[in-house]
Amino acid sequence: EAQVTQNPRYLITVTGKKLTVTCSQNMNHEYMSWYRQDPGLGLRQIYYSMNVEVTDKGDVPEGYKVSRKEKRNFPLILESPSPNQTSLYFCASSFGQGGYEQYFGPGTRLTVT
């Protein structure tokens, strides 16, 4: 089954404790992206990747890091999480460039206390 997977699905952590949210897709998509979704603010892009070793900032990159060492994986790293990073996070992937259909993972609900 073609899909985007994320882990963990739910995470409660404390301020400053480094964490990684994994994202993997099995569709051989070149493009992958991370979004956060907050009430009243909609979906905002954090980082995206056009292909292996090619990443770039989205609209809200502060406090986040990403890497793309393999085509299928695109982890999101929070080096020192803060409460304002409490949010619902989605990974998405797309064949070709970012302006095509994007397919979303199930989401990760992160709470930072």
Partner 1 sequence: QKEVEQNSGPLSVPEGAIASLNCTYSDRGSQSFFWYRQYSGKSPELIMSIYSNGDKEDGRFTAQLNKASQYVSLLIRDSQPSDSATYLCAVNESGAQKLVFGQGTRLTINP
> Which residues of the shown chain bind partner 1 in the complex (CB under 8 A)?
31, 33, 40-43, 45, 48, 50, 56, 58-59, 88, 90, 97-107, 109
As measured in angstroms, the least distance from the Cβ of 17 to partner 1 is: 25
As measured in angstroms, the least distance from the Cβ of 16 to partner 1 is: 27
As measured in angstroms, the least distance from the Cβ of 93 to partner 1 is: 12
By beta-carbon proximity to partner 1, the closer residue of 81 and 90 is 90
By beta-carbon proximity to partner 1, the closer residue of 78 and 91 is 91
Q: Which amino acid is at 89?
A: Y
The C-alpha atoms of residue 31 and residue 79 are separated, in whole angstroms, by 24
By beta-carbon proximity to partner 1, the closer residue of 13 and 103 is 103
How would DSSP label each residue in the chain? ---EEEE-SEEEE-TT--EEEEEEESS--SEEEEEEEETTTEEEEEEEEEETTEEEE-S--TT-EE--SSTTB--EEESS--GGG-EEEEEEEESSSTTS--EE---EEEEE-
By beta-carbon proximity to partner 1, the closer residue of 14 and 41 is 41
